[in-house]
Structure 1
Amino acid sequence: MRITIAGGGIGGLATALSLHAAGFGEVVVHEAAAEIRPLGVGINLLPHAVRELTELGLAGRLAAIGVRTAELAYFNRHGQPVWSEPRGLDAGYRWPQYSVHRGALQLLLLDAVRERLGTDAVRTGVRVEGLRHDGDLLVGADGIHSAVRAALFPQEGAPPWNGLVLWRGTTWAPPFLTGRSMIMAGDGTQKFVAYPIGDGRLVNWIAERPLEGEPPERGNWNRPADLATVVAHFADWRFDWLDVPGLIATAEAAYEYPMVDREPLPFWAKDDVVLLGDAAHAMYPVGSNGASQAIIDARVLAHSLATTGSTAAYEELRRPATTALQRANRQQGPEVVMRLAHERAPDGFADIEAVVPLAERAGIAAAYKRTAGFDPAELNERPSWSVR
């Protein structure tokens, strides 16, 4: 089977590696950009995605570029702790959770594809237009502005915007809390996220709030941000353990992005075409799931093709799961604990237990793990999607 992959991002490259591991030898990635460069800022890879990359033989390389996340902690806008939990190996998973630079991960996958499939397996400067291809199957992994998706659903239009804007940046800064903590602070409307990437000295941060008027380009992750504007919105967010405006003001790079997603689709596959990753199910960046879900798509698609000869099992498993996740993220996913704390105690609290009881906080976290596919027991016990 000759397989063409549209898109050389994380999803497309993970698909090439997964197909190769499943025994498919004729796989080519077409990337529209003339050169694949390490763009972007930080992302998180949750244990279910790390499991798949480990089974692809990339555990050592991944450990070399990532910070092994120790905890996830939520705070209100005053810096008071709302909820925290261990992550990765510390939470009983058989695989760690990593915070990595998106570009570094993309180059890691690119190197592995070229090593295993050959230097010609990734062809840059080649754009897949619509549904035209010269293989037996076209995999549309070409992102939120997918040309393949647009050809399948020509009436869809631009991705819908929810009224919020994200500013994403990286800053060289000293460690905070455990040194491997991922933190989120906010009130359900305005939010700040931070975690270390690289060697741990570079802090990735995300600032989020409502935006008045029409947003700039939807789905462009690389639009430069005005740092002074961002600092002004978070000027009083100084905590004992983190100076938020100081972190923003000294960023080495920052980008502006309207929070958009895509509507769930009635189908992903038609004839000799199938969608994957953001092209299939772009979702709000809530719960750190975008890249992880694309990697899981890749593995399940390869397994489906290798074991059944079709994409039907892939779509049957993945489309309902990601649809539920898209909808959960629209409701703030596990981050809803910050909104609840603010609604019930807007000026802060003396005892979080009296505001959002432990059982409620733990239940929210556990429910999201089940929806997103990384409940610890279920993930540890699930059979592998490797086929040989």
Structure 2
Amino acid sequence: MTTRHAVIAGAGIGGLCAAVGLHRAGWRVTVLDRAPSPEPFGTCIALAPNALRALDGIGIGEKFREFGIAGGRGGIRSPDGRWLTRRDPGMINDYFGEPFVIARRGALARVLLEALPDSVLHNGIRVTGVYRNVVHTDRGEFSGDLVVGADGIHSAVRGTLFPWYGAPRPNGMIVWRFVLPAGGPRCSGSETWGAGRSFGIVPLAADATYCFASAPKPRGSWDPRTELAARFGSWHEPIPELIAAAGEDLLCHELLRLDPPPARFHHGTTVLLGDAAHAMLPNLGQGGCQAIEDAATLAALLSGNRPLTEALERYSALRVPRTRAIAANSARVSRIAGLRSPFAVAARNALVRASNRLPDSLVLRGMGAALDWWPPDQERASTRAR
């Protein structure tokens, strides 16, 4: 039987996961990426239990459980440092049977690339569109039995597949991300909510620290580093010290949403995954996790001899409602965290403080909509705590 061939546009986390999954399912895979080299871009990614199970689905989940696991008590604080709510992240492992892992994107990408033949990835190629089974690029055409659009929020594949959806919409917010190596301020994990602004701190393995922040986009011209200090420099320790220690890898960009996402994620034998299909706000930490779920689902459905069109119909049926619900929940949390008026902020903080009285089991059941997911070819574990 002839080996089926998949052409994947984009070598981000979702595209590489799809490549690994399809390669292990017996497909020949070609990955096209516009970056001049395989060196990944970005800071960290949160691998929640659903993402770890998805990585299990493509055969490499155990490698990622070796990364830093979120530990210690964490929660939400106010800008003066008072704790609004605190929970033990370990309860996620106890309830869902999986930890919450924080991984450097570079390390994650390297593990994925090591699981692929060297001939799979082709860098320095910009995808411009797709027609039927042919991917058009600035370096010629590439054809396959399947085309996977994993080329991000500005997806050229989506633009030719569903041109009526238009460009992503700005959210009016900017985000900063940076990682500090060992030797910086020692701190516990937290997220601080102010009036329309937030700052997150995540301890990593080897005493490194991942920081992220968001605030309304300023008018006119502005400098990312100066703006970060101006927005958060008066907040509780160690936030000013962390900002002062930020290096040249400080990332800053405007948040965008694909709203609404396409009503289906495939057309013919071309399929979308990750931000190309359902770009969402980062407030639940599920954007990357959902891309990994997409890849694991696609690989599972395309294993064996299932007809391609049937598999892609099933893929859209599974992924569209789930990613829409999670994107909507993420947008809801973004609105709550981004409240600006003094009255609304005071009411929000009071509700957050009141949540401390809720039992852990009730909080965890609420998280289950996102975290209690398994690949379509695996049975749910029967031993998870209820």
Q: What is the percent sequence identity of the aligned residues? A: 29
Alignment of 1:59-70 (within 5 A): 59-64=61-66, 66-70=67-71
The answer for the alignment partner of 1:346 in structure 2 is 346
The answer for the alignment partner of 1:92 in structure 2 is 95
Could you tell me whether the CA contact under 8 Å between 2:196 and 2:337 is conserved in 1? no
Alignment of 1:21-60 (within 5 A): 21=24, 23-60=25-62
The answer for the alignment partner of 2:321 in structure 1 is 320
Alignment of 1:160-309 (within 5 A): 160-172=169-181, 173-177=184-188, 181=189, 183-187=190-194, 189-197=196-204, 199-213=205-219, 226-238=224-236, 242-252=237-247, 253-263=249-259, 264-306=261-303, 308-309=306-307
Cα distance, 1:366 vs. partner? 4.5
Q: Which amino acid aligns with 2:313?
A: A
Could you tell me whether the CA contact under 8 Å between 1:342 and 1:348 is conserved in 2? no
Q: Which amino acid aligns with 2:107?
A: A
The answer for the alignment partner of 1:138 in structure 2 is 147
Partners of 1:56 and 1:261 in 2: CA distance: 28
Q: Which amino acid aligns with 2:291?
A: A
User: Which consecutive unaligned segments of at least 5 residues does structure 2 have?
Assistant: 136-142, 380-386
* Residues 299 and 57 of structure 1, relative CA distance in 2, 3 Å threshold: closer
The answer for the alignment partner of 1:124 in structure 2 is 123
Partners of 2:86 and 2:18 in 1: CA distance: 34
Q: Which amino acid aligns with 1:153?
A: F
Cα distance, 1:188 vs. partner? 5.8
Partners of 1:320 and 1:347 in 2: CA distance: 32
Alignment of 1:141-152 (within 5 A): 141-152=150-161
- State the SS of the aligned residue for 2:63: helix
Cα distance, 1:246 vs. partner? 1.3
Q: Which amino acid aligns with 1:311?
A: L
Cα distance, 1:291 vs. partner? 0.9
Q: Which amino acid aligns with 2:95?
A: G
TM-score in terms of structure 2 length: 0.82
User: Pick from 85, 88, 105: which aligns with 2:108?
Assistant: 105
Deviations 1:346-382 (A, max 9, x none): 3998xx689534467969954752332x14xxx4xx5
* Residues 348 and 337 of structure 1, relative CA distance in 2, 3 Å threshold: closer
The answer for the alignment partner of 2:10 in structure 1 is 7
Could you tell me whether the CA contact under 8 Å between 1:340 and 1:356 is conserved in 2? no
The answer for the alignment partner of 2:383 in structure 1 is none
Partners of 1:196 and 1:106 in 2: CA distance: 20
* Residues 292 and 210 of structure 1, relative CA distance in 2, 3 Å threshold: same
Cα distance, 1:281 vs. partner? 0.4
Could you tell me whether the CA contact under 8 Å between 1:76 and 1:342 is conserved in 2? no
Could you tell me whether the CA contact under 8 Å between 1:169 and 1:248 is conserved in 2? no
* Residues 146 and 344 of structure 1, relative CA distance in 2, 3 Å threshold: closer
- State the SS of the aligned residue for 2:280: coil
Deviation larger for 272-281 or 97-106: 97-106
Deviations 1:308-344 (A, max 9, x none): 43211111011111011111111116x9479699757
* Residues 340 and 159 of structure 1, relative CA distance in 2, 3 Å threshold: closer
Could you tell me whether the CA contact under 8 Å between 1:75 and 1:338 is conserved in 2? no
The answer for the alignment partner of 2:382 in structure 1 is none
Cα distance, 1:60 vs. partner? 4.7
The answer for the alignment partner of 1:222 in structure 2 is none
Cα distance, 1:383 vs. partner? 6.7
Partners of 1:322 and 1:39 in 2: CA distance: 24
User: Which consecutive unaligned segments of at least 5 residues does structure 1 have?
Assistant: 217-224
Moved >6 Å (runs of 4+): 360-364
CA RMSD of aligned residues (A): 3.1
Is 1:16 the counterpart of 2:25? The answer is: no
* Residues 215 and 103 of structure 1, relative CA distance in 2, 3 Å threshold: farther
Partners of 1:82 and 1:50 in 2: CA distance: 29
* Residues 215 and 85 of structure 1, relative CA distance in 2, 3 Å threshold: farther
Aligned length: 356
Deviations 1:136-169 (A, max 9, x none): 1101011111110011122444311121111111
Deviations 1:254-307 (A, max 9, x none): 111111111221221111111001100011111111111111101111122226
User: Pick from 155, 158, 171: which aligns with 2:167?
Assistant: 158
Partners of 1:135 and 1:58 in 2: CA distance: 25
User: Pick from 74, 77, 81: which aligns with 1:75?
Assistant: 77
- State the SS of the aligned residue for 1:248: helix
Partners of 1:128 and 1:2 in 2: CA distance: 17
Cα distance, 1:201 vs. partner? 2.2
Partners of 2:331 and 2:253 in 1: CA distance: 17
